[in-house]
Amino acid sequence: MDSKKLMPVLAAAVEAGVAIDYVETNCAWFKDSGHASAVIKNLFKTGVHTLLISISPFHNEHIPYARVKGVIDACRSNGVKVFPWVDSFAGDLSRLDENKTHSLSEFEQVFGPNYLESIPEKYWIHMGGRALDTFRPVYPLQRVQHILVDSISSCSRVFSDTTHFHIDLYGNYIPGLCSGLAFPMEELGKPLDPGKYLLLEQLIFKGIRGLYNFACRNWGYIPNRKSYLNHCDLCTEIRYYLFNLDKDGKLFPELSPDGFYAEPRTD
C-alpha cells in the first residue's frame, strides 16, 4: 500500500461525498509494527475505519502470513476494524512457516491432494482469469457445444449489472469480473459505439456463442481443446487469440490492458 498515493485518492473521495466502507489490502507493504501503525493512523484520519485484509492460499503464494498478522495487529492497536477475507484460512496458513510464501502444491502436501478442490467450499471464487488455469485440472469440463447452447443470458447479466465493477489504474471501466475487457470511463453514460467495440457487441447481444462465431468466421479461430471449464474459459481463449492478431490494438480496443494478455496461459 503506497500511502502517499492512496491518501490523495481518499481525500478526493471525501471531498466528492463518496462513502468508503473499507480499503482492501494484501499486506505486501508491511515492514514492521511501527510503520504499519503510522500508515493505519493516516488512513483513520481520512475516515477509513475498516481494512479488508486478504487471507488465502492464493495470497500466501506471494505474501508471507506474518505480514498479514502484522497488519491485523496494527489495526487492532489503533482502533481500525478488520474485515478478514477470509478468516477460515487462518488456521491453514498458521500450520506452515508464517515467514515464508508457499505454493499451492505445498498446501496439497500438508492438507492432502484434494485441498485445491475444497477451497471454493470456504469462499466464493469467480471461475475466470487466473482461476481458470488453477481449477481446470480439478473440476469437470464441458464440451464446446454444450457451452454454446445457452450463452446469451450469462454474458448479458454481467454487462448490464452495475452493482459490482472495477476501475483500473489506467482509468478504464471493467464490467463485472471480466478481466481483460475494458473501455475508458469517459464513455460511460452513453451508448457504446458497436463499430468500435466489436467484441463487446457480440458478448452483450449474442453471448459467448456470438463471440465464438465471430472469431471463427472472420478470424479463423479454432478451439485449442474440445472441453473447457465454463464459458469464461472459452471466452478468454478466444480473446487471447484475437489479441495476438491485433498487436496494435486498433481492431479490438476493448482487449485491455495489454498486460493481461502478456501472461501465458496454461492449456
DSSP character string of 134-189: HHTTTS--EEHHHHHHS-HHHHHHHHH--SSEEE-TTSEEEETT-TTB-EEGGGTT
- Environment class of 31 (CB within 10 Å of its CB; exposed 0-12, middle 13-18, buried 19+): exposed
Pairing state of beta strands 50-54 and 23-25?
parallel
Angle at 161 between CA 47 and CA 24, to 5 degrees: 30
Using CA atoms of 32, 37, 43, 45 in order, give the dihedral in degrees to the nearest 10: -160
Q: Assess contact for 175 and 126: CB atoms under 8 A.
A: no
27's CB contacts (< 8 A; 6+ apart) are 53, 54, 63, 67, 68, 70, 71
Q: What is the pLDDT of residue 162?
A: 82
Q: What is the pLDDT of residue 34?
A: 96
pLDDT in tens, 105-154: 999 999 999 999 999 988 899 999 999 999 999 999 999 999 998 666 67
The pLDDT averaged over each successive group of 10 residues in the chain (267 residues) is 79 88 95 95 91 97 98 96 95 97 96 94 90 94 90 73 85 90 92 91 92 97 96 96 89 93 74
Which DSSP string corresponds to 110-126? HH-TTHHHHGGGTS---
Three-state SS at 217: helix
Q: What is the pLDDT of residue 88?
A: 93
Q: Assess contact for 231 and 147: CB atoms under 8 A.
A: yes
32's CB contacts (< 8 A; 6+ apart) are 70
Q: What is the pLDDT of residue 52?
A: 97
Q: Which residue has the cell 469464461?
A: 232
CA dist 8 → 20, 27, 39, 151, 225 (Å): 14, 20, 14, 42, 47
Q: What is the pLDDT of residue 262?
A: 87
Grid coordinates given for 208? 459467448
Q: What is the pLDDT of residue 254?
A: 95
